[in-house]
Amino acid sequence: MSKRVLTTESGAPVADNQNSATAGVGGPILLQDQHLLEKLARFNRERIPERVVHARGSGAYGYFEVTDDVTRFTKAAFLSEVGKRTETFIRFSTVADSLGGADAVRDPRGFALKFYTEEGNYDLVGNNTPVFFIKDPIKFPDFIHSQKRDPFTGKQEPDNVWDFWAHSPEATHQITWLMGDRGIPASYRHMNGYGSHTYQWTNEAGEAFFVKYHFKTNQGIRSLSAEQAAELVGKDANSHQTDLLQAIERGVNPSWTLYVQVMPASEAADYRFNPFDLTKVWPHADYPLQRVGRLVLDRNPENVFAEVEQAAFSPNNFVPGIGPSPDKMLQGRLFAYADAHRYRLGVNHTQLPVNAPKATVADNYGRDGFMATRNGSRTDKNYEPNSYSGPSQTDAALSAPLAIAGWTGTHEAPLHNKDDDFFQAGELYRLMSEDEKSRLIANIAGGLSQVSREDVIEKNIAHFAAADAEYGKRVEEAVRALRED
Ligand code: HEM
């Protein structure tokens, strides 16, 4: 094999990669040492802005295979045939900490999936929890500020975390979930994924359905106790990354079975819970799980920065047959992600290999900007309509229309007859075994007892009590006991 020659960025051979050029032996460095200048300057620019949330993550390629016919619900081409496979890329993540944060922490996990379909990329940007802390996107920046590092102390502060929750009773359901056994997954392989929001599916006949996605892990759910997690973080802060990487390298390919809950669009208005409220689930007794297919991860990225750090998932990357619901949180996210990508990666991030379509080509009139690599040829016009057979619209609606009535204004999301902030949190609590309840109470009390203000503690206890009187009483007793210690 011929020896590979080290070159500069422009491809010229490098004569010396160990000694910089100087004016005489022992003299100052020469400005003409292009290799040195380029090396130092490039190194200074290696980092890009980290994701403002979900900064720490792990990725893998794989495929999605349809196992059950869902064509009566959606016309999406990648779901059109049993046995059909679509290439995918997934990124798992923690939420609150920065890029260097530890993996085994109590935090929701991101479950962001890109399907490279023949009708364009479909991104399903979910979490490992079926619900969320808030139900209006206008609260998201405040929520995240309260959970990330405090601008003065530079660390996460129980005072901020619980103060925000004291003012957000709608978070009680998700807090109960997070502080329970599933709050620290043993690894990314041992947790479920959820689309969390309600989405809209439309079939060939134009009929609309509302759906919720559930990816059930085929590895089984495994979680860590607070003590086990603390020990693991000390031994391997990158434990989830280690686990995922090694499993796939060994050929132990993790998989998930996808189920959907399907609600005919006509039932949404009268359902007992607002079906577009992200703090609520649809009990399976109301809308049972229907199997769709399986997701298999079988290939590690070759380069973490190029493929995982530069991956860009956006909830508004839909394909025909799948669209948004009026969930206000989802609507806010339809803006936030692509905007984040333009800031973090630049306007041409869609041309990076991990983000570009693989089963079709992007063909439009978007041009120029930093780092444009796909910019059209001499025969491609950069305007539309044109007389030169450039790409043109299909006139086929991607999803069904939604009937809307009423006044503009800053409305609270409508309440359905069983809606309040606490009922489902109480249901979740009552489902738990005695042991699970004890661990839940201990986890909540561990954080809440560190809060400095009594009124903030009381407001939070009142939320748990509203969910279930016993739940509230036990949290109160556990917090008092820890504070008296
Ligand atoms: C209005 C509420 C929300 C806003 C404004 C928001 C905004 C963001 C932003 C700006 C990012 C960083 C994107 C990037 O730089 O690539 C992000 C990442 C992420 N968000 Fe959200 N988010 C919201 C709610 C949610 C919810 C409800 C879920 C899950 C159901 C979720 C799941 C994720 C995931 C998984 C990532 C990481 C994606 C990746 O791996 O690249 N977010 N979010």
pLDDT tens figures, 305-320: 999 999 999 999 999 9
Phi/psi of residue 294, nearest 5 degrees: -135, 150
Angle at alpha carbon of residue 49, lines to 348 and 17, rounded to 5° = 90
Please tell me the predicted confidence (pLDDT) of residue 366: 96
Pocket test for ligand 1, best of 48, 136, 333 (most atoms within 8 A of CB): 333
pLDDT beneath 70: ranges in the chain? none
User: What number does the ligand 1 atom closest to the CA of 312 have?
Assistant: 16
CATH number for the 57-132+185-351 domain, one of 2.40.50.100, 2.115.10.20, 2.60.40.1840, 2.40.180.10?
Answer: 2.40.180.10
CA-nearest of 290, 294, 243, 231 to 263 is: 290
pLDDT digits (tens, 9 = 90+) for 231-285: 999 999 999 999 999 999 999 999 999 999 999 999 999 999 999 999 999 999 9
Please tell me the predicted confidence (pLDDT) of residue 229: 97
What residue ranges do the domains of the chain occupy?
Answer: 1-22+31-46, 57-132+185-351, 423-484
Please tell me the predicted confidence (pLDDT) of residue 103: 98
Pocket test for ligand 1, best of 48, 50, 51 (most atoms within 8 A of CB): 51
Max CA-CA distance within the chain? 85
CB of residue 349 inside a 6 A radius of ligand 1: no
Please tell me the predicted confidence (pLDDT) of residue 2: 87
* Cα 171 to averaged position of ligand 1 atoms, centre (Å): 17
Q: Which residue is closest in CA terms to ligand 1's atom 12?
A: 51
Contacts of 410 (CB under 8 A, 6+ apart): none
Both tokens assigned to 229? 């997690």
Share of the chain above pLDDT 70, in %: 100
